[in-house]
Structure 1
Amino acid sequence: GVLTYKYDTDNWGYSHIVKWSDLVDREKGFIKDGKITVEIYFSIVKMTGFRRKPRFDFNSGNTQSDVILIIEGKPVHVNKHYLRIYSNFFHSLFFGEFANKEQKEFELEDVVYE
């Protein structure tokens, strides 16, 4: 038979979908050839708490990009403030003692463009 499951609490996972006693009851039809078979079909009606993966176009400049990295001759538009948070290399490149603070293009060698 069809079991409609509704879950109205903030919990990870399900407390139960079908009772164990129903699964092992031969009259319910879950046991065939000594094996329990369960098929579950579901649809997602609404999702909360999940962000979509952001889609960035690094090939052209936008309001967030402020420098261009040249990788294998190709321009990659990035935000230097964002990169420096996650990389000591970029922090030194953009804001280090010997960095040219006004430079807008940086060629990176030994980096593969994919």
Structure 2
Amino acid sequence: MRSSPRRHRSYWAFIGHRISGIALALFLPLHFLVLGLALEGAAELNRFLVLADTPLFKVAEWGLVVLLTIHLFFGLRLLALELLPWRDGAREGWITAGIGAAVVAGGAFLLGAF
């Protein structure tokens, strides 16, 4: 009996890359909204910055850093699959490196955020 392709780590790396990309695309309008506040004046921007200094926003920023890192490394993995020669087992190493980099980047962000 063959195992399902959905149980393979590469499939979950694909899902991680796709979900992080969608989440980042959903974040962009909010980012542009905040940039627009800066154009409206210092008072509007300062009100938002006070709100952004709350723990809930810090956790959301941490999630954004982790999503960015996952999307970056899993995207690099896809580029490596397309552009570099294939070697058995090397492809799954990129998955572990991507997850590890996301954990490190998220931890570094938490250390600086609080």
TM-score of the pair, normalised by structure 1: 0.24
Structure with the largest fraction of strand: 1
| Structure ID, larger Rg | 1
Structure having the larger proportion of residues in helix: 2
Q: Which structure has the higher relative contact order (CA within 8 Å, separation 6+)?
A: 2
Give TM-score scaled by structure 2 length.
Answer: 0.24
